[in-house]
Amino acid sequence: MSVLARIVRSQIGASAIAALLALAIVALVVAAGGYDIARAASALWNGSVGSSYSFFSGTLVRATPLIIVGLAVAVAFQAGVLNIGAEGQLLAGAAATVAAGLALSAWPGWLSIPIELAAGMLAGAAWASVAAVLKRSFGVLEVISTLMLNFVALYMVSYLVRGPLEEPTHTYPETLRLAESARLPVIIPGQRLHLGFTLAVLLAIVAWWFMRSTVAGFRIRAVGAGPAAAASAGRVSVDRVVFRTFLASGALAGLGGAVQVTGVTYKLCELISPGYGYTAIAVALLARLNPLAVIVAGIFFGALEAGGAGMQRDAGVPSGFVYVIEALVILGVLAVDRVRTYAGARSAAVPGESAA
């Protein structure tokens, strides 16, 4: 915990300020809209951390896919890969996981669950590989290709739940539920928190160690910092690093989808994700792309989403205000970075001006 505390203090102090400012601005907007700000704040608190059930079964359950997919975005961004397609990769992973789970319904859980998660990772990597190949072979900007692939994945899921994977009665556009043996076990009796959260935290720790302590992690960071310098001075194969990082990012996003269907929904449906892939971008930026800080940022956004539902239910405040907070957090982080860059440039210029 001391390592995590140092990371939070040293790298996301400015992000914390941006998040607090975003909350303050939204509070003013809520009050200006005629809502009872005290009641709204109480509902936000009670819905997110006000009880053990709201925290473990609400906040942490929502935080789990955000942490995993946030890691996917953070790893890609560190390599300079602007993977905006985590949502599509998550959906592809969820679809492949449910297909594998339904096919292996008679298998024991110790065998079927790892296969399901692996299927989700492979599907996410395969979905990301489309944009990776387009970038490497034809120079297509990944921001465009990954964003477009999100819509393709969305309609693919709609087709699957209304066609090949639809439940036998054809009453609802969804699949059959996964067998009990094909679901992630609950880790706290009486709560909804499942093993996926433990997996998410372990992945964040491994990703932090990998990026900090391995040659491959150094190459990723070097390419992200300056691909030309990495290629000339470090003799790094930039194309290879970018391609592999793209696939790894897609695999993590696909795993996020796999964890969601095996730990929460137990089936595939059209609204399997409320936009986790997009919120994960905010998680990664708030964490300053640091894998350990992604845990904190993921829990923060998980609390916002859980509290937003409670705020709408108990105080009548539209839950859409949560997305306003997310947007303001991103803008705040970018603004703080800009101010710090400007201040650093000014301080570096002062000695030269004095000497002149």
pLDDT in tens, 42-56: 988 999 999 999 999
CA distance 3 to 18: 23
Residues pairing with 186 in the sheet: 194
Report residue 269: phi and psi, to 5°: -145, 175
The per-residue pLDDT for range 273-288, each reduced to its tens digit, is: 999 999 999 999 889 8
Q: How confident is residue 321, by pLDDT bands cut at 50, 70 and 90? A: confident
What is d(CA 198, CA 207) in angstroms, rounded to the nearest whole number? Answer: 14
Mean pLDDT, to the nearest integer, of 306-320? 85
In 3-state terms, the chain is what percent helix, strand and coil (to 5)? 80, 0, 20
Q: Is 356 among the domain residues?
A: no
Residue 39 lies in a domain: yes
Tell how far CA 52 is from the center of its chain.
24
Please state, in angstroms and rounded to a whole number, the distance separating the CA atoms of residues 104 and 113. Answer: 9
Whether 355 maps to a domain, the answer reads no
Q: Which of 274, 271, 268 is nearest to 95 (CA)?
A: 268
Residue 352 lies in a domain: no
pLDDT tens-digit map of 57-104: 999 999 999 999 999 999 999 999 999 999 999 999 999 999 999 999
Q: If pLDDT is split at 50, 70 and 90, which confidence band does 356 have?
A: very low
**Least-confidence region, from 6-10, 140-144, 184-188:** 6-10
**126 has a pLDDT exceeding 50:** yes
pLDDT band at residue 345 using 50, 70 and 90 as cut-offs: confident
Which has more confidence, 310 or 180?
A: 180
Residue 23: what are its φ and ψ, rounded to 5°?
-65, -40
Q: Is residue 50 part of a domain?
A: yes
Question: How many domains are there within the chain?
Answer: 1
> Residue 251 domain-assigned?
yes
Q: Which is more confidently placed, 354 or 292?
A: 292
**Quick check: is 350 in a domain?**
no
| pLDDT level of residue 8 (50, 70, 90 thresholds) | very low
pLDDT digits (tens, 9 = 90+) for 213-270: 999 999 999 999 999 999 988 789 999 999 999 999 999 999 999 999 999 999 999 9
Q: Please report which helix (H) or strand (E) contains residue 8, including its range.
A: helix 2-11
Residue 352: its pLDDT value, please? 54
Q: Taking all residues of the chain, what is their mean pLDDT, rounded to a whole number? A: 89
Per-residue confidence band for 20, with pLDDT thresholds at 50, 70 and 90:
confident
Q: What is the mean pLDDT of residues 138-154?
A: 96
Banded model confidence at residue 30, pLDDT cuts 50, 70, 90: confident
Distance from C-alpha of 7 to C-alpha of 251, rounded to nearest angstrom:
26
**Which residues face 269 on adjacent strands?**
174
- The pLDDT, as a whole number, for residue 4 is 46
CATH number assigned to the domain comprising residue 202 = 1.10.3470
Answer yes or no: is pLDDT of 3 > 60: no
Least confident span in 127-136, 172-181, 240-249, 332-341: 332-341
Q: Mean pLDDT across the stretch 129-134?
A: 97
Q: How far is CA 94 from the centre of its chain?
A: 14
pLDDT for position 236: 92
Q: What are phi and psi of 174, to 5 degrees?
A: -155, 170
232-241: long-range contacts at Cβ-Cβ below 8 A with a sequence spacing of 24 or more? 239/136, 241/79
Share of the chain above pLDDT 70, in %: 93
3-state secondary structure of 166: coil
Residue 286 lies in a domain: yes
CA distance 66 to 45: 20
d(CA 88, CA 156): 10
Q: How does DSSP classify residue 176?
A: P
Phi-psi region of 167 (alpha: psi -120 to 50; beta: other; left: phi over 0): beta
Sole residue written with tokens 């539209």 = 318
Where in the sequence is the domain holding 84, given as residue range(s)? 2-344
Task: Tell me the percentage of the chain whose pLDDT exceeds 90.
Answer: 67
The predicted pLDDT at position 161 comes to 97
Supply 273's token pair. Answer: 């994700």
Only one residue has tokens 């679809």, namely: 95
Residue 10, pLDDT > 60, answer no
Residue 2 predicted with pLDDT over 80:
no
Dist CA 32 CA 30 (whole Å): 5
